[in-house]
Amino acid sequence: MQAIISKTRALFISLPNFGQDLLRGPSGTIIQGIYAVNFGLDLATIGTILLLTKIFDAFTDPVVGMFSDRYYHAYGTRKPWLVIGTLLSILGMWLLFTPSVGVSAAYFLFSYLLMYLGWTLAEIPYAAWKAEVNHHYDSRTRVAAMDSFFGFLGTLSFSLIPITMVGLGMSEKVEYSIESVHFTAWVVTLILPVMVGLALWKVPDGVPLQQERRTSLKENLSAVLQAKPVFYFMVIYFLSGLAMGMTGAVNYLYLVRYAHASELVVYSSTWGLFVVIVAIPLGAWLCRVVGKHRVWAFSLVVVVLGVVIKDFLVDHSLPDAAHFKVNNLLMLFIMGIPAIMVSFYTVAVSGLQGDLTDYGQWKFRSNFSGSYLSFMLLMNKIAAAFGAFLALNALQLSGFDAKSGVEITLSGAWCLRLTFTWIPALLLILTIPLVFYYPLTREKHLVLLKALERRSRREAATVVIDDARHTSLPAAAPIVREPEYSSRL
């Protein structure tokens, strides 16, 4: 069986995630609020643009995933995709993060689409490469932990930018603003290409467990639709995507515009991300001890409790003067608990996604990791798009006005609470039993790895016999399941 991946190699292959998550920082929850508050784009327009960009991003995922798989089968590498995607996402980021006064909805839409296209071209092949570089169950956990560490470190770096700008005299107030987003663009441009270059230089291409063959688009689609663990992931991703789409779309509006906690947002996100990073080794250890899917399920339970408790800590008696009822120090402590769980489930989910590479090779005799990841992200991003669209349009209908200085109505405040806390919490509760009963456990993964090794030995023996007889190899086998193990997954 393959040896566990070295810490050095796991470090280098995870480096690009730092720059990628630094880039994602503003685009996930901040930029839409900035365009609404600073540039006057109404919430319904922003919601529609987010819906269109997310749908575009979602449907380009499987296309990139399938062509990335076919390119890998033909040339044995996915690295060129990462280079092209990185350069294109940086170009889109500059347009989105450095807007001029009086920007239009069309500008917002085009820059978002360009950034998402580059993002997809890099993200899908990069995730598949990380899954292919080593097939050991605990290697996936090590890479996932290192990947999560650099990803959260990148997000933490974004949260520290407002504090850094105040320290450098570039800003007078600790808050997320268009200036801090512009500063982020410079940092990403300087470091992301360097980190991508180091990963490409130090880490080889993935090595398949068996001989690869070129697959058709029909086979890729069939491999996605017939994979039971992928089905579980897609349902979970749909429900959690709706939840995260709603929360992400109104996060800035709830905490800054409604709860009047602009400084607390910066400090709490910084503290939360620090806690996440520190907790990653514990999450990796728990995944090895009790199983990745169980860690994921437990962390979701605690995250839901944390989301609900946070809403109870806000004084909602006066909608236009809402505020947290506890001091900042206690709020930081409370927010740190679900942050630990975010660390746990990020490590668990990344590792479980990597195991799907082996599942595809076992069941369909080929590597479909790019297709699996892209279709799961397709479901997640479509759900997130509709979640954001529904939340922002509901706010618009409730009478909530994002512009500063405008009074917040009671109906607007209730709608904000529902879309930020209560509906997302309910959706996450529905995912918990699905996660707990996820079918591809450690034990079943070990079974299919052994089956793959036996198959590889049989095929190697067949090649030796055929060579001895001077006969040609048989044509590539069609997609079939292993009869001996098909009942287990």
- Of the chain, the percentage scoring pLDDT greater than 90 comes to 14
- Give yes or no for residue 407 having a pLDDT over 90: no
Give the residue among 117, 10, 5, 1 at the shortest CA–CA distance from 54. 117
**What are the two backbone dihedrals, phi and then psi, of residue 302, each rounded to the nearest 5 degrees?**
-70, -40
At 311 the pLDDT is 84
At 404 the pLDDT is 63
Least-confidence region, from 120-124, 173-177, 392-396: 173-177
Contacts of 399 (CB under 8 A, 6+ apart): 409, 411, 412
Pick the residue with more confidence: 436 or 361? 436
Digit-coded pLDDT (tens) for 196-208: 999 999 888 866 5
Pick the residue with more confidence: 186 or 145? 186
> How many Cα atoms sit within 13 Å of 116 on the Cβ side?
25
- What is the mean pLDDT of the segment spanning 162-178? 83
At 38 the pLDDT is 76
At 211 the pLDDT is 47
Residue 319 DSSP code: G
**323, containing H or E segment:** strand 323-324
* Separation of alpha carbons 123 and 119, rounded Å: 6
Digit-coded pLDDT (tens) for 74-107: 888 899 999 999 999 999 999 988 887 778 888 8
At 86 the pLDDT is 95
Quick one: pLDDT band at residue 216, thresholds 50, 70, 90? low
Contacts of 234 (CB under 8 A, 6+ apart): 375, 376, 379
- Give yes or no for residue 320 having a pLDDT over 80: no
Task: Let me know: does 170 contact 182? Beta carbons within 8 Å.
Answer: no
Q: Compute the chain's Rg from CA coordinates.
A: 23
- Give yes or no for residue 135 having a pLDDT over 70: no
Least-confidence region, from 18-27, 206-215, 330-339, 352-361: 206-215
Q: Residue 207: is it exposed, middle or buried by C-beta count within 10 angstroms (0-12/13-18/19+)?
A: exposed
Give the residue among 156, 72, 162, 166 at the shortest CA–CA distance from 357. 72
Pick the residue with more confidence: 176 or 439? 439
* Beta partners for residue 209, in sequence order: none
- What is the mean pLDDT of the segment spanning 377-384? 81
At 475 the pLDDT is 47
* Separation of alpha carbons 363 and 485, rounded Å: 9
- What is the mean pLDDT of the segment spanning 392-421? 82
Q: Report the phi/psi class of residue 240: left, alpha or beta, with left for phi > 0 and alpha for psi in -120 to 50.
A: alpha
Alpha carbon 58 to its chain centroid, in Å, reads: 12
- Give yes or no for residue 484 having a pLDDT over 50: no
* Separation of alpha carbons 208 and 366, rounded Å: 9
At 87 the pLDDT is 95
Least-confidence region, from 134-138, 260-264, 273-277, 428-432: 134-138
At 193 the pLDDT is 94
At 75 the pLDDT is 85
Contacts of 128 (CB under 8 A, 6+ apart): 65, 68, 69, 72, 78, 206, 357, 369, 370, 373
- What is the mean pLDDT of the segment spanning 392-409? 79
Least-confidence region, from 138-142, 285-289, 354-358, 412-416: 138-142
Average pLDDT, the chain: 80
Task: Let me know: does 24 contact 248? Beta carbons within 8 Å.
Answer: no
Contacts of 127 (CB under 8 A, 6+ apart): 353, 369, 370, 373
Contacts of 99 (CB under 8 A, 6+ apart): 35, 39, 107, 108, 111, 178
